[in-house]
Structure 1
Amino acid sequence: MNRSPAGLRLIAIMEASKGTIALLISLGLHELMGQNLQQLAEKLINHLHLNPASYYPGHLLQALADINNTKLIIVTIAALLYSFIRFVEAYGLWHQYRWTEWLALVSSVVYLPFELYELYQKVTLLSSLLLMINTLVVVYLATVLNKART
């Protein structure tokens, strides 16, 4: 098999980074459980000298009013699961396991329609960059898997 470990390892590092971010988010959400999120947000908005009645702070406060511990638990568990999958994928790519190459390809392809829709809604540097990186990952993984097949 003619596979480049450097390319797979770069993707593995990206996946491990996503897993780390998701793990940090889940730990942060766990820390917030049992607290009055709306009250915490009001303190933060006041500390930043923002007007709570203005558009974004007002929407944030309204959204936080609807969050309860059950919803936080569900999101925390989902973030932990996502993190676990990303770490498994990163480990497998680092060690060049073919099944994780397929997993990485499928999980990257799944995001493409959402990224295209986001770009269709509003062209930004971030949405363009994410689409470009994800497309490169998909093309690279498809090439690696195609070479492994022949």
Structure 2
Amino acid sequence: MTTIKKGLRAVAILEASKGIVSLLVAFGIHALAGHNLRNLAELIVSRLHLNPASHLSSVFIDAASGLTEAKIMIFTIGAMAYSMIRFVEAYGLWRSQVWTEWFALVSGAIYIPFELYEIIFRTSIISIGAFIINIIVVGYMAYVILDKKKVTRIS
């Protein structure tokens, strides 16, 4: 197996992992439908021994209170659609399909400005880690695409 194919498979595994996490989120969100989300949010704040009167806790509780069943359904459908896109991308990368190489490049590059914004205004280890991983994936996909073009020109 070539080095490029190994790299594509690594990116495919990463994309499939994002799809699995998104699918789990979709099921988790869907499971919340029909529950009193305000009570659930208050229970979470209580179990974590947080002050319910603090700003962050009250924002969390208020956000949970505002989730209607229709909004939950929209979030669930969105998370499922995102997971399906990630699974299709992972399959295509695993099979070295050119269109998924371009798709991975573009879909990864789209997030870069948002990740930079997040690092600048809300720096965290997670935002920095996500940015670094994304830069590596985007750079690798650009390398794969350019390498294939170079091989095509030589042939």
- Give the TM-score taking structure 1 as reference length: 0.93
Quick one: distance in 2 between partners of 1:44 and 1:123? 25
Structure 1 residue aligned with 2:106 = 106
| Residues 1:15 and 2:5 aligned together | no
Letter in 2 for 1:122: R
Which string of whole-angstrom CA distances, capped at 9 and with x for unpartnered residues, describes residues 83-128 of structure 1? 0000000011011111111111110000001011111213333222
- Give the TM-score taking structure 2 as reference length: 0.90
| Residues 1:83 and 2:118 aligned together | no
Quick one: distance in 1 between partners of 2:67 and 2:43? 17
Quick one: distance in 1 between partners of 2:139 and 2:42? 46
Ranges in structure 2 where 5+ consecutive residues have no aligned partner: 151-155
Structure 1 residue aligned with 2:68 = 68
Quick one: distance in 2 between partners of 1:42 and 1:16? 34
Quick one: distance in 1 between partners of 2:47 and 2:90? 39
Quick one: distance in 2 between partners of 1:46 and 1:132? 35
Structure 1 residue aligned with 2:126 = 126
Task: Give the alignment's Cα RMSD to 1 decimal.
Answer: 1.4
Structure 1 residue aligned with 2:59 = 59
Letter in 1 for 2:95: H
Quick one: distance in 2 between partners of 1:137 and 1:29? 29
**Identity percentage of aligned residues:** 46
Structure 2 residue aligned with 1:145 = 145
Quick one: distance in 2 between partners of 1:117 and 1:36? 34
Ranges in structure 1 where 5+ consecutive residues have no aligned partner: none
| Residues 1:37 and 2:60 aligned together | no
Aligned residues: 149
CA gap 1:45/1:124 in 2 versus in 1, 3 angstroms: closer
Quick one: distance in 2 between partners of 1:143 and 1:63? 43
Quick one: distance in 1 between partners of 2:115 and 2:5? 27
Structure 2 residue aligned with 1:48 = 48
Say whether the 8 Å CA contact 1:34–1:69 is kept in structure 2. yes
CA gap 1:50/1:128 in 2 versus in 1, 3 angstroms: closer
Say whether the 8 Å CA contact 1:3–1:148 is kept in structure 2. no
Secondary structure of residue in 1 paired with 2:148: helix
Quick one: distance in 1 between partners of 2:26 and 2:9? 25
